[in-house]
Amino acid sequence: MTGRFISFEGNEGSGKSTQIKILADCLAALGRSVITLREPGGTPIGEEIRHLLKHSAANVGMTPETELLLMNASRAQLVRQIIRPALVSGAIVLCDRFYDSTTVYQGTGRGLDPAQVQNVIDLAVGDTRPELTLFLEVPLEVSEERRRHRSGAKPERDRFEEADRAFFERIHAGYEALAKAESGRIRRIDATQSVDDVSAAIWSHVAPLVT
């Protein structure tokens, strides 16, 4: 059975984690082998990098270039240690963020040169790329409200969520541009709908790949 690689993208608070769990449960009920991953992270090395990127007190003053390289170091490990073997085995891989996040966050958001960003991504992933990317889209105001709502429940600070509004405006614009440029792979989902409606929309794109 052919493995499938599906990534989820979206603004902060777009509901990716919830929808990945729903989809994973649905696929497992159909008897498919499913692996769920997150970026950065997904391996012991990657989780250490994730802590450094997002939560560590030592990350104050991290440069955009350092962020780019660390993100893709985690990704390179994830691709080789987990994703490629899983696809060879016939599993369905669901990943909470992949290289589109780097294009948008480190490229558009941090203002790094797009060609240099792409070169680093290419080194990290090689030919391992999602065949379907689900972009869970919410307006910036909704993203801000959801981030405020969940910030009190988080035990650790998140360096990315400490960025100013202008950064998130660039992120929003970056995703919009990317979704238009790669509409064949990236499918836009209105994530302001109910959880059930969002999951139904996701399934309409996933079902042709797995059934």
Mean pLDDT along residues 7-24: 95
Closest CA to 138 of 7, 8, 15: 15
Q: What pLDDT score was predicted for residue 151? A: 62
Mean pLDDT along residues 26-33: 97
Q: Looking at per-residue confidence, does 93 or 11 come out higher?
A: 93
pLDDT digits (tens, 9 = 90+) for 160-173: 988 999 999 999 99
Place of tokens 């541009």: 177
CA distances to 71, 92, 99, 210 from 171, in Å: 16, 28, 14, 31
Mean pLDDT along residues 76-104: 98
Q: What pLDDT score was predicted for residue 142? A: 79
For residue 69, the domain's CATH number is 3.40.50.300
- How would you write the chain as a 3-class SS string? CCCEEEEEEECCCCCHHHHHHHHHHHHHHCCCCEEEEECCCCCHHHHHHHHHHHCCHHHCCCCHHHHHHHHHHHHHHHHHHHHHHHHHCCCEEEEECCHHHHHHHHHHHCCCCHHHHHHHHHHHHCCCCCCEEEEEECCHHHHHHHHHHHHCCCCCCCCHHHCCHHHHHHHHHHHHHHHHHCCCCEEEEECCCCHHHHHHHHHHHHHHHHC
Structural domain of 196:
4-210
Per-residue confidence band for 152, with pLDDT thresholds at 50, 70 and 90: low
Distance of CA 195 to the CA centre of its chain: 19
How many structural domains comprise the chain?
1
Closest CA to 100 of 4, 5, 207, 182: 182
pLDDT > 90? residue 146: no
Mean pLDDT along residues 169-193: 96
Q: What pLDDT score was predicted for residue 153? A: 60
pTM of the model: 0.94
Q: Are 11 and 144 in contact (CB under 8 A)?
A: no
Share of the chain above pLDDT 70, in %: 97
pLDDT digits (tens, 9 = 90+) for 63-79: 999 999 999 999 999 99
187/196 Cα distance (integer angstroms): 17
Mean pLDDT along residues 43-48: 98
